Amino acid sequence: MSQHTKVPLMRIVKRESISFWRASLIRLIGLILALAASAIVIYAIVKLNPLNVYVAMFDGNFGTEKRTWVTLRDMVMLLCIGVGLAPAFKMRFWNIGAEGQILVGGIATAAVMIYLRTALPTWAMLLVSFAVSCAAGAVWGLLPAVFKARFGTNETLFTLMMNYVAIQLTSYCVALWENPFGSNTVGIINQQTKAGWFPSLFGQQYLLNVIIVLVLTVLMFIYLRYTKQGYEIAVVGESERTARYVGIHVKTVIIRTMMISGAICGLAGFIAVAGSSHTISTSTAGGSGFTAIIVAWLAKFNTFTMIAVAALLVFLEKGAIQIASQYNMNDFASKMVTGIILFFILGSEFFTNYRLVFRGVKEAH
C-alpha cells in the first residue's frame, strides 16, 4: 500500500517560529508584489502611469501640512481603537462592539460639552469628559462580558447587537440636542466658545490627539507584556482550563479585560468628539470599530506594530480618495487598487505563519 501512496506536490506546514528579519522580508516582498499588481491594474483600466498614481496617493496624505495632520488624526483614532481591542482579542474574546463603545463614549462627551459648558472651565470639562467617556465605554463592554462569564453567551453576536443599541441611542440624543431645531443634526457644539474642545498645542490642532494615543499605546504594551494581569489575559486566551488549573479566576479576568477594552474604545469617542469633529452623530465612529479589527489582528496584538498597520490603512484610504479626484477615476477603480494592496499584505501574513513544502524537498528539523 505504501508504494501506491501518492505524495502531494505541495504541503502547507505551520512554522514553529520565524525571525523578525525574515518576517519583515516576507512583508516587504508582499508590498512590492502588491505595488506591481496594482500598477498592472491601473494601466489596464485607466491607462495611467502607475508611478504618477502612487505619487498622487502620497500627496493625498502628506501633500500639505494640513493633510499631514489630518492623516495623523485619523491614524491615531484608528490606533486608539485597535489598542482597545488588543486585550480582548488576546484573551480570545471577540469584541465586535467597538463601534457602539465609541458612540457611547462620544455621547457622554457631547453631554458634558452641552450641559456643563457654562459650569466648568475647559480643562475641567476635558477631565470630566475623559472620565465619563471611559466609564460609558466600560459599561458597554461590561454587559457582554458578564453574560459571557456567567452564562456562556456568544460574545460576537452580543457585542455586535450592542452596536445597534448604541446607534439608536445616538439617534435619540441627536434628536434631543439638534441645533438648529428641525435640522436633525447636533451641529458644531460650542462653536463660538470652544468649551470642551481639545486645545491647540504649539499651534497644532490635533497634536494632543496624537500624544494621548501614543501614551496609551505605550501603556497598553507594558500592561500586556509585563504585568500580572497581562499574563492572566494571555493564559486565558490560550486555554481557560489551564488558567483555572493555575488558579486564575477566569470570570474576573473576562469582566475586567472587557471593561478595559470598552473604556479605551469609549476614550476614542471622547477624542473623536472633543478633539476632532466637535459634534455627535451616528457616523461618529465611521466604521473605524470594524477597520480596527484588521489593525489588531495584523499586528498580533502588539500595540507598537499597530502604529504601522493603522498608518498603512489610513494611507490607502486617503490615497484612494486623492487618485479618484485627481484623475477623475471611478471610485470603484481607486478602491480596487487599495483592495489589491491590502490583499497582498494580508496574504504575506499567511507566509509568516506557514511555509510551503514541495515534494522531494526534505524538511529542516
Q: What is the DSSP string of 242-271?
A: HHHHTT--HHHHHHHHHHHHHHHHHHHHHH
Please tell me the predicted confidence (pLDDT) of residue 165: 97
Does any domain span residue 365?
A: no
Rounded to an integer, what distance in angstroms lies between the CA atom of residue 202 and that of residue 339? 37
Q: Which domain holds residue 244?
A: 83-298
Instruction: Please name the residue that has the C-alpha cell 497634536.
Output: 207
- Lowest-pLDDT range, 55-64, 166-175, 267-276? 55-64
pLDDT band at 1 (very low <50, low <70, confident <90, very high): very low
118 has a pLDDT exceeding 60:
yes
> For helices 50-62 and 303-326, what crossing angle results, to 10°?
120
- Lowest-pLDDT range, 192-201, 257-266, 309-318, 326-335? 326-335
Q: How many domains does the chain have?
A: 1
324 has a pLDDT exceeding 90:
no
For 355, phi then psi, to 5°, come to -135, 160
Does any domain span residue 75?
A: no
Q: Kindly state the average pLDDT of the residues 75-96.
A: 96
Please tell me the predicted confidence (pLDDT) of residue 360: 63
Does any domain span residue 349?
A: no
Does any domain span residue 113?
A: yes
Q: How far apart are the first and last CA of the chain?
A: 27
- Count the neighbouring beta carbons within 10 Å of the beta carbon of residue 200: 12
Q: Kindly state the average pLDDT of the residues 5-29.
A: 79
Rounded to an integer, what distance in angstroms lies between the CA atom of residue 56 and that of residue 79? 24
Does any domain span residue 206?
A: yes
Does any domain span residue 109?
A: yes
Number of DSSP helices (H) and strands (E) in the chain, helices first: 13, 2
pLDDT band at 320 (very low <50, low <70, confident <90, very high): confident
264 has a pLDDT exceeding 50:
yes
8 has a pLDDT exceeding 80:
no
Please tell me the predicted confidence (pLDDT) of residue 15: 79
363 has a pLDDT exceeding 60:
no
- Is the CB of residue 243 less than 8 Å from the CB of residue 251? no
Find, among 40, 14, 200, 196, the residue nearest to 121 by Cα: 196
Q: Kindly state the average pLDDT of the residues 12-16.
A: 80
Does any domain span residue 331?
A: no
Global pTM?
0.89
Does any domain span residue 208?
A: yes
Rounded to an integer, what distance in angstroms lies between the CA atom of residue 37 and that of residue 45? 12
